[in-house]
A and B are shown apart, each in its own frame.
Chain A
Amino acid sequence: MSQAETEFAAPAGQGSGLAALLRKPWLFWATLFLSTALISHYAFDLYKALDARWIIRFPSAWQPDFEGRISAFMTWLLEDARILGLQFREITRGLAAMIEAPYDLVLDLFVRGLVFGQGQQAVQILPPLSWVAVVYAVVALGHYTKSWALAALMGGCFGYLAVFGQWESAMVTLSSVLIAVPLAAGGGLLLGILAYRLRWVDLMLRPVLDLMQTVPVFAYLVPILFMFGFGPVSALVATIIYATPPMIRVTIVALRGVPEELAELGRMVGCTPRQQMWKVMVPSAKPTIMVGVNQVIMLTLNMVIIASMIGAGGLGYDVLTALRRLDIGGGIEAGIAIVVLAIALDRLSQEYATRTVEQTARQAQGGWLRRHRWALSAAAVALATFLAGMVLPWIQNYPAAAEISTGAFWTRAMEYINVTYFDTLDAIKTVILQWFMLPVRAFFTGIPWVWGLFAATLIGLRAGGWRLAALVFCLVGLIVLAGLWTPAMMTVYLCGVSVVIASVIGIPLGIWAAGSAGSNRVIGAFVDTLQTLPSFVYLIPVVMLFRVGDFSAMIAIVAYALAPAVRYAAHGIRSIDPQVIEAGIVSGCTPAQLMRRIKLPMIVPELLLGLNQTIMLALSMLVITALVGTRDLGQDVYIALTKADTGQGIVVGLAVAFIAITADRILAASARQMRRKLGIEQ
Chain B
Amino acid sequence: MNIIGAIGAGALALTTAGAAFAEVESTDPIRLTLHDWSGQLLTTTIMGKVLEEAGYNVEYVQADYIAQFAGLKTGDLHVAMEIWETTGREAMDEAFATGNVVSFGPTGMDAIEEWWFPAYMKEICPGLPDWQALNDCAQEFATAETAPFGRYLGGPVTWGGFDEERIESLGMDFEVVHAGTDAALFAELESAYQRQAPIVLWLYSPHWAPAKYEGEFVDFPDFEPACYEDPSWGINPDMAYDCGKPTGNIWKVGWSGVAEKWPGAAAAIEAFTLDNAAMGDMVGKVDLDGQEVDAVAQEWLDAHKDVWSAWIAD
Of the A-B pairs whose beta carbons lie under 8 Å apart in the complex, a sample of 10, sorted by A's number, is: A120-B48, A121-B57, A311-B61, A313-B62, A375-B1, A379-B6, A540-B183, A543-B188, A627-B180, A641-B67
Of A274-282, A322-330, A455-463, A608-616, the segment with at least 4 beta carbons within 8 Å of chain B is A322-330
Q: Are A118 and B27 in contact (CB under 8 A)?
A: yes
A422: CB under 8 A from chain B?
yes
| CB–CB B158/A639 < 8 A | yes
Chain A residue contacts of B17, Cβ below 8 A = 116-117
- Checking A313, A629, A641 against B178 with a beta-carbon cut-off of 8 angstroms, the contacting residue is A629
Give Cα A70 to B191, complex, Å.
Answer: 42
Known contacts A419-B195, A433-B145, A643-B66; A109 and B7 CB within 8 A of each other: yes
Of the listed residues B61, B70, B143, the one surrounded by the most CB atoms of chain A closer than 10 A to its CB is B70
Known: A117-B18, A644-B69. A628 touches B184 (CB 8 A): yes
Quick one: CB contact mask for A297-326 with B, threshold 8 Å, 1 for yes?
000000000001111110001001101111
Given the complex, which residues of B lie within 8 Å of A629, measured CB to CB? 156, 177-181, 184
Q: A123 on the interface (CB 8 Å rule)?
A: yes
Instruction: Assess A231 versus B184: contact at CB under 8 Å? Given A105-B8, A310-B67, A325-B38.
Output: no
Besides A229-B76, A629-B180, A644-B70, 15 other A-B contacts (C-beta < 8 A)? A115-B14, A117-B18, A119-B57, A222-B70, A225-B67, A225-B71, A312-B62, A324-B37, A372-B2, A375-B1, A544-B187, A548-B178, A629-B184, A642-B64, A643-B158
Query: In the assembled complex, which residues on chain A have CB atoms less than 8 Å from the CB atom of B4?
Result: 106, 109
> Which B residues are CB-close (under 8 A) to A563?
none
With A311-B61, A326-B190 in contact, do A549 and B180 touch (Cβ < 8 Å)?
no
Q: With an 8 A cutoff between CB atoms, is B11 at the interface? A: yes
User: B residues within 8 A CB of A137?
Assistant: 3
A403 contacts the other chain (CB 8 A): no
Are A433 and B144 within 8 A (Cβ)? yes
Q: Which residue of A lies closest to B77 (CB)?
A: A230
Report the bound CA distance from A137 to B4 in whole Å: 11
CB <8 Å contact, A120 and B52:
yes
B58 touches A310 (CB 8 A): no
Q: How far is the CA of A544 from the CA of B194 in the complex (A)?
A: 10
Looking at the complex, which one of A101, A433, A548 makes contact with B180 (CB distance below 8 Å)?
A548
Asked if A375 and B62 make an inter-chain contact with CB atoms under 8 angstroms apart, the answer reads no
| A116 proximity list for chain B (CB < 8 A) | 14, 17, 19
Q: If A118-B29, A229-B76, A643-B158 touch, does A627 touch B61 (CB 8 Å cutoff)?
A: no
Task: Pick the residue among B19, B145, B184 that contacts A122 (CB under 8 A).
Answer: B19
Contact check, B76 vs A375: say whether CB atoms are below 8 A apart: no
Q: Is B300 interfacial (CB-CB < 8 Å)?
A: no
* Complex Cα–Cα for A625 and B143 (A): 21
Asked if B11 and A543 make an inter-chain contact with CB atoms under 8 angstroms apart, the answer reads no
Cβ of A430 under 8 Å from chain B: yes
How big is chain B's contact interface, by range? 35 or more
| A429 CA to B145 CA, complexed, in Å | 11
Within the assembled complex, what's the spacing in Å between the Cα atoms of A626 and B187?
A: 15
Is A202 in the interface zone, CB < 8 Å from B? Answer: no
Q: A324 to B179, Cβ gap below 8 A?
A: no
Main secondary structure of the interface of A (DSSP, over half): helix
Please give, as numbers and ranges, the residues of chain B lying within 8 Å of A378 by CB-CB distance: 2-3
Among residues of B, the one whose C-beta sits closest to the C-beta of A540 is: B187
State the Cβ distance, B288 to closest chain A Cβ, in Å.
10
Contact between chains at A627 and B157 (CB < 8 Å):
no
Roughly how many angstroms separate A326 CA and B193 CA in the complex, as a whole number? Answer: 13
Which chain B residues border A126 with CB–CB below 8 Å?
7, 10
Residue among B58, B90, B157 having the largest count of chain A Cβ atoms under 10 Å: B157
Shortest B111–chain A CB gap in Å is 17
How far in angstroms is the closest Cβ of chain B from A500?
Answer: 20
B250 to chain A, nearest CB (A): 18
Give Cα distance in the complex from A317 to B181, angstroms. 16
The chain A residues found within 8 Å of chain B, CB to CB, are 101, 104-106, 108-109, 114-123, 125-126, 129, 137, 221-222, 225-226, 229-231, 308-313, 317, 320-321, 323-326, 372, 375-376, 378-379, 382, 415, 418-419, 422, 429-430, 433-434, 539-541, 543-545, 547-549, 625-630, 635, 638-639, 641-644
B62 pairs with A311, CB closer than 8 A: yes
For the complex of A and B, 8 pairs with smallest distance between CB atoms: A119-B57, A230-B71, A629-B180, A544-B191, A117-B19, A119-B29, A543-B187, A230-B76
From 61 to 81 in chain B, residues with beta carbon under 8 angstroms from any chain A beta carbon are 61-71, 74, 76-77
- Assuming A540-B184, A548-B184, is B36 touching A320 (CB within 8 A)? yes
Task: Give the interface of B toward A (CB within 8 A).
Answer: 1-4, 6-8, 10-12, 14-15, 17-19, 21, 27-30, 36-38, 48, 52, 56-59, 61-71, 74, 76-77, 90-91, 143-145, 153, 156-158, 177-188, 190-191, 194-195, 197, 208, 287
Question: Which chain B residue shows the least CB distance to A235?
Answer: B62
Q: How far is the CA of A310 from the CA of B6 in the complex (A)?
A: 31
Q: How far is the CB of B185 from chain A (nearest CB, A)?
A: 8
- Is B194 in contact with A323, judged by CB distance below 8 angstroms? no
Q: How far is the CA of A430 from the CA of B11 in the complex (A)?
A: 60
Task: Please tell me if the beta carbons of B38 and A644 are within 8 angstroms of each other in the complex.
Answer: no
Does the CB pair A430–B57 fall under 8 Å?
no
Contact A643 B183 (CB under 8 A): no
Q: What CA separation (Å) do A225 and B69 show in the bound complex?
A: 10
The answer to whether B3 touches A379 (Cβ under 8 A) is: yes
Q: Who on chain A is nearest to B68 by CB?
A: A230
Q: Which residue of B lies closest to A551 (CB)?
A: B145
Cβ-defined contact, A121 with B157, below 8 A: no
Give the distance in Å from the alpha carbon of A119 to the alpha carbon of B191 in the complex.
Answer: 41
Instruction: Say how far A113's CB is from chain B's closest CB, in angstroms.
Output: 9
Chain B proximity of A465: nearest CB distance (Å): 41
- The answer on a CB contact under 8 Å between B19 and A118 is yes
Alpha-carbon separation in the docked complex, A101 to B13 (Å):
12
Whether A379 and B57, one on each chain, are in contact in the complex, defined by CB atoms closer than 8 angstroms, is: no
A422 and B195 contacting across the interface, CB-CB below 8 Å: yes
B62 contacts which chain A residues (CB < 8 A)?
A: 308, 311-313, 317
Chain B residues lying within 8 Å of A324, measured Cβ to Cβ, are 36-37, 182-183
Select from chain B the residue with minimum beta-carbon distance to A325: B287
In the complex with contacts A105-B8, A116-B17, A118-B29, A547-B143 CB distance below 8 A? yes
Give Cα A338 to B52, complex, Å. 34
Chain B positions within 8 Å of A539 at CB level: 184
Verify A544–B70 contact, CB threshold 8 A: no
Flag if A635 contacts B180 (CB, 8 Å). yes
> Are B36 and A321 interface neighbours, CB within 8 A?
yes
